[in-house]
């Protein structure tokens, strides 16, 4: 028996920007549903979480088609004529929505569930993007720091003292901690 309730995947690999969500909702609202989504046997959405989320917000009913993956499910819109304005808009919306979500993975979940070699078989390489993002962030930080009247220093602590140091830092805000370090350094400089 088909399930009537499909639930969003709490560990969805795709991150949907606000722009992407808005485009999905616009498409559903103005053009109606144009694609199927995929769920597991228990009703967890495996593909199409963004569409499901917006369809739920718009109270669009679900029609479940049960399959074991040995046949292709086709969504045939009987109300859409070939090359009509609506047909063209549905095709455009499908591609634009895909483009606005491209490359936005929840890397934490993906890396927890797959090894790099497994991802490579699907043409997914998150390592390079992560490194580039980190480099860009560092460049931005360096640019901001060069235009600021403050600078930053990184401290390294023994791993054996990690919990103790983190607990102490939680009790004290960064500004107070920075002031105390500065006072200590200046006092040491005066005594030297």
104-156 pLDDT, tens digit each = 788 888 888 988 888 888 887 776 555 666 666 666 666 666 667 777 777 78
- Mark whether 162 and 95 lie in a shared domain: no
At 1 the pLDDT is 40
Total count of residues recorded for the chain: 192
Q: Tokens 């722009």 label which residue? A: 19
pLDDT band at 84 (very low <50, low <70, confident <90, very high): very high
- Mark whether 104 and 141 lie in a shared domain: no
57 in Cβ contact with 25 (< 8 Å): yes
Mean pLDDT on 81-101: 90
**Count of domains in the chain?**
3
pLDDT band at 3 (very low <50, low <70, confident <90, very high): very low
Mean pLDDT on 41-60: 95
71 in Cβ contact with 33 (< 8 Å): no
User: Percent of the chain at pLDDT above 70?
Assistant: 84
- Mark whether 87 and 160 lie in a shared domain: no
Determine the structural domain holding residue 190 and report its residue range.
Answer: 154-192
- Tally helices (H) and strands (E) across the chain: 8, 2
At 143 the pLDDT is 64
Mean pLDDT on 36-48: 94
- Mark whether 68 and 148 lie in a shared domain: no
- Please check whether residue 87 lies inside any domain of the structure: yes
Which pLDDT tens digit goes with each residue over 56-74?
A: 999 999 999 999 999 999 9
Q: How far apart are CA 146 and CA 140, in angstroms?
A: 10
- Mark whether 102 and 148 lie in a shared domain: no
21 in Cβ contact with 50 (< 8 Å): yes
- Mark whether 49 and 93 lie in a shared domain: yes
- Mark whether 89 and 33 lie in a shared domain: yes
Distances, alpha carbon 189 to alpha carbons 132, 154, 183, 184, 192, in Å: 40, 20, 10, 9, 5
Strands 45-47 and 38-39: antiparallel
43 in Cβ contact with 50 (< 8 Å): no
Q: How far apart are CA 47 and CA 13, in angstroms?
A: 9
Mean pLDDT on 8-34: 92
170 vs 127, higher pLDDT: 170
């Amino acid at each position: 028996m088909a399930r009537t309730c499909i639930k969003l995947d709490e560990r969805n690999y795709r991150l949907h920007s606000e722009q992407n969500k808005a485009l999905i909702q616009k498409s559903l609202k103005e053009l109606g549903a144009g694609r199927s989504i995929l769920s597991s046997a228990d009703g967890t959405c495996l593909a199409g979480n963004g569409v499901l989320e917006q369809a739920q917000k718009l109270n669009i009913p679900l029609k479940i088609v049960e399959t074991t993956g040995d046949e292709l499910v086709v969504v045939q819109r009987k109300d859409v004529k070939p090359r009509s304005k609506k047909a063209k808009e549905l095709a455009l919306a499908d591609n634009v929505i895909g483009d606005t979500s491209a490359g936005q993975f929840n890397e934490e979940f993906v890396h927890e569930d797959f090894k790099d070699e497994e991802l490579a078989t699907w043409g997914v390489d998150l390592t390079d993007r992560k490194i580039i993002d980190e480099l860009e962030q560092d460049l931005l930080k360096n640019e901001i720091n060069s235009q600021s009247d403050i600078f930053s220093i990184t401290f390294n602590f023994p791993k054996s003292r990690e919990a103790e140091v983190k607990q102490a830092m939680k009790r004290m805000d960064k500004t107070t901690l920075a002031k105390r370090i500065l006072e200590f350094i200046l006092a040491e400089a005066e005594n030297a």
